[in-house]
Amino acid sequence: MRTLTRSIIALFTFAAVSIPSARADAVKAGDTLPLWSEGCLDIHHINTGKGESSLIIMPDGTTMLVDAGDIAAKGGSLLDALPDDSRLPGEWIARYISRATAGTPGRALNYVLLTHFHSDHMGKLTKTSRDSSAGDYKLAGLTEVAEHVAFEKIIDRGWPDYNFPEPLKGAMMANYRKFVDWQIANKGAKAERFNVGVKDQIVLRKNPAKYPSFEIRNIAANGVVWTGAGTNTRNHFPDPKDVAKGAIIENNCSIAFRLSYGEFDYFSGGDLSVAGMEFPSSAEPWLDIERPVALVTGPVDVMKAGHHGYRDAGSAFFLGTLRPRVIVIDTWHIAQPSINIYRLMKSGKTWPGPRDIFITNQPEATRLVTQIDKKGPPPGHIVIRVKPGGDEYYVYVLEETNESGRVKSVHGPYKSR
């Protein structure tokens, strides 16, 4: 998809790597998914029913956790905790990470990327939140994961001053900042602000020379968007002083990136959405952060749906520009995905060609209202496994009601474009 040079590099990379223990074509429903092994790219969409979290294992074993949510609520229109509510979501995520990374070199997470500061991505502080056994902070979502798994580098959209579009306050942010400061002072962790436009902030840490076709390009954060030329960026948002307080919403400040491995491309953009998408005639152009992001991202093989497939994310322009073969929707509420967005994703008018949509949770109420295809993939943990070199990939749905790692369904092979 990228260039002839990348294709040639990928060909030689594929020829040099052998990973019999993770052969994608040998896995069938009912099996336990084999562990990652060198040369593969694994992207795990972890389903706790209480927020969003993804684990990426890169071809050389470098690891990155993207978000670790915990909405800290239940009942009503909210989905049940998975596998159950005997542990906090952060601990379930940590246990999943420990199992999935058992074949990687090193136990610590090399990168932890927090896309934005909402509880379903970082964890919500409550009156019953437990104290950390380590530092002077509470456990919720991401901070709970750190009780069980070491972090080497934390990247977010606000470090170190956390002042865009205005100073970020409240108990949740105060707790998170204490956590980051403690990790730096006591665990030797590093913290950085996401640097839009570059491709050298998140890199392979184990053996980069062996996989030259791998890169992560930083696309957007805080309304700053890569232009597609070099490392140049531009501000899509107006100056916060020139708009009403609260007009620049947290979701649209989300971090977005494109991961590439040979011909394979994957997009993730937190909760980027289109403020005013339901009433476009009244919306100002800068409220549509999806459009400039889509233009520089281009077509991808797999995308994580923005804002859980909710009604304000995933415009026809955005979807039609990315044209994904596979879409993963991480959900924790019965209104996710929304019927308008699901229809856009399904429609051949939005973009031509086949596509498969994977939804982590599919309660009956959502199925009925959204008209989700009952013949489609089942709910569960959604794992993308890209074969060495990036030319081909499979999608596995894993059992989410226990920790067996049992494969519920196998999809593919898909040819990277």
Which 3-state string (H, E, C) describes 266-288? Answer: EEECCCCCECCCCCHHHCCHHHE
CA angle 68, 71, 75 (to 5 degrees): 140
Angstrom distance (rounded) from CA 319 to CA 337? 15
Which strand (E) or helix (H) includes residue 260?
A: strand 256-261
Residue 229 DSSP class: S
Angstrom distance (rounded) from CA 236 to CA 224? 6
Domains of the chain: 4-415 (3.60.15.10)
- CA 145 to chain CA centroid, Å, is 16
Instruction: Look at phi and psi of residue 222 and say left if phi exceeds 0, alpha if psi is from -120 to 50, else beta.
Output: left
Residue 54, class by beta-carbon neighbours within 10 Å (0-12 exposed, 13-18 middle, 19+ buried)?
Answer: buried
pLDDT of residue 13: 34
Residue 135 has which token pair? 């530092």
pLDDT of residue 15: 34
Residue 339 has which token pair? 């019927």
Which strand (E) or helix (H) includes residue 41?
A: strand 41-45
Residues 6 or more apart whose Cβ sits within 8 Å of residue 221: 157, 194, 196, 253, 254, 255, 256
Angstrom distance (rounded) from CA 119 to CA 224? 23
pLDDT tens for the 417 residues of the chain, in order: 454 334 333 333 333 333 334 555 689 999 999 999 999 999 999 999 999 999 999 999 999 999 999 999 999 999 999 999 999 999 999 999 999 999 999 889 999 999 999 999 999 999 999 999 989 999 999 999 999 999 999 999 999 999 999 999 999 999 999 999 999 999 999 999 999 999 999 999 999 999 999 999 999 999 999 999 999 999 999 999 999 999 999 999 999 999 999 999 999 999 999 976 655 555 688 999 999 999 999 999 999 999 999 999 999 999 999 999 999 999 999 999 999 999 999 999 999 999 999 999 999 999 999 999 889 999 999 999 999 999 999 999 999 999 999 999 999 999 999
Amino acid 107 reads R
Q: How would you label 213-252 residue by residue, b for 16+ Cβ within 10 Å and e otherwise?
A: bbbbbbbbbbbbbbeeeeeebeebbeebeeeeeebbbbbb
| CB distance 213 to 60 below 8 Å | no
